[in-house]
Structure 1
C-alpha cells in the first residue's frame, strides 16, 4: 500500500489524504477535499494518479467544499468509458452536503467568494452504518461515529502485513477530539462513539485525522484526556 499525504489546505488547515494500493497502478482514493480544489487537482496530476472515489468523513464545508470541482475535472474522467468519480458519505450528513453554504455560516461566504462549484456530485453514495466498500485496490470499513456531526464517519483500511489505518476526520485528533458545539454535534454521542467504535481498535492502528498530525490508537489511549474521560463516563 502507498499512502500519499497531500497537504493541510484552506482556512482551517484541513488535511486531505490520497491513498492507493501498490497493485492498483494509477488508481487512488481521496479522503476529504477542502475548498482549494486547484491544489488537490495539481497534486493528483503531478503524481500521475487517477481518482476513482472520494470519501467525505463528514459534511462540513472545510472537508467537502472542493469535491464538486474535483469531480467535474475533465482530465479525471476515464478516456474510454467516461467513468465518473464516486463520492462516499454518510446519509445523516445529507443536508450539510446538499447546502454547504447555508449550513456553514461565515465559512459558507468564503466559499461563495471563491466562486467554487456547489453542485451535488452525480455519483454520490450515502452510506448506512458499518458498511465495507472497495476502491483503488483497497477495502474500506466505514465506522459511523456521530458526535462532531450526525453523519461523522471514520474509515478503516487493513492491508495484509501492515498496521491498519483509520481516517478519523474531525472525530479524533492527536491529543484531542472534534468540537461538538456546532449544529448536529453531541459530546455524549462522540464519547459513546469513541468507546464503542474507536477504542476496540488495535494499539498499532495509525490515526490519520482531518486536522493536525497523525498518531496511533495506542498513543491516544495513553495520553488523550478526552479518551480517558470517555472511558470513565461511557466505558463498559
Structure 2
C-alpha cells in the first residue's frame, strides 16, 4: 500500500512529501526544497529507506536541496520534464533572490514525460505533464491510493501562479481540466502549499476553475 507523510519545508511552507511502499519500506521524497535536517528526521522516524528524489518542477522552494540530498545520499533525481531545464540552471540565482541557502547544481538522472511511470517498492504512480505554472511541471498520480501529488498546479481554492518566466495561464487551466479532472472527483490531491483537497471539490467550487 502507498503511504505518505507531508513535511513542510522552507520559509515558503512547501509541502515536501515522503512517499513509501509499506511492504518494502522503500521511499521517495517529492520536492525536497530545503530544511534537510527536518526531512531526515522525518525519514528516520518513519523507518523508511530513501531510494529516489522525484521533482514536480524546479522552483527553488521545491528543488533547492535536491543537489545536496542527491550527492550526500547517492539518490537518483527523477523529473521534472525537460521544459524546466532553465529553472534548474537558474537555481543559484533563485536561491540568492529569495534568500535561500545556495542550491547545489544537479542534473536529473531521468527526465519525465507525459504518460511515464515512476515506481517505489511495489507502488507505481502515473506521470502527467501539467505545464502552465512552469513549462516542465509534472504530477504523480497513484490510481490505487487515489492520491495525486500536484506541486503548484492546483491548490485548495486556488491555482498556481503563472507570472513567472515560462508561465502560461491558459496552459495551466488546460492542464487542470484535461489532465487532473479525469483522475476522478474522489481523488485527493496533495498540493505544494496549504491543505489537501479533492478534485471534485475544486471542480465544483474553485473560483479559478470551478464548473469546468
Q: Do they fold alike, i.e. is TM over 0.5?
A: yes
- 8 Å Cα contact 2:55-2:77 kept in structure 1: no
Structure 1 vs Structure 2 CA RMSD: 1.8
Q: Deviations over 1:140-172 (max 9, x none)?
A: 11111110000111110122xx4x110110000
2:135 alignment partner in structure 1: 150
Distance in 2 between the 1:197 and 1:105 partners?
34
2:11 alignment partner in structure 1: 11
- Correspondence list, 1:1-236, <5 A: 1-24=1-24, 26-73=25-72, 76=73, 84-103=75-94, 106-107=97-98, 110-111=99-100, 114=101, 116-121=102-107, 124-159=109-144, 162=145, 164-228=146-210, 231=212
Q: CA deviation at 1:117?
A: 4.8
Count of residues paired in the alignment: 212
Q: CA deviation at 1:130?
A: 2.1
Q: CA deviation at 1:87?
A: 2.9
Structure 2: which 5+ residue stretches go unaligned? none
Regions of 4+ moved over 3 Å: none
Q: Deviations over 1:33-77 (max 9, x none)?
A: 11212211222123222111111111100000011222223xx45
- 8 Å Cα contact 1:37-1:67 kept in structure 2: no
SS of the counterpart of 1:101? helix
The two structures have a TM-score, normalised by structure 2, of 0.92
Structure (1 or 2) with the larger CA radius of gyration: 1
1:81 alignment partner in structure 2: none
- 8 Å Cα contact 2:130-2:172 kept in structure 1: yes
Q: Deviations over 1:8-33 (max 9, x none)?
A: 11111100111112222x21011111
The two structures have a TM-score, normalised by structure 1, of 0.83
Structure 1: which 5+ residue stretches go unaligned? 78-83, 232-236
- 8 Å Cα contact 1:35-1:65 kept in structure 2: yes
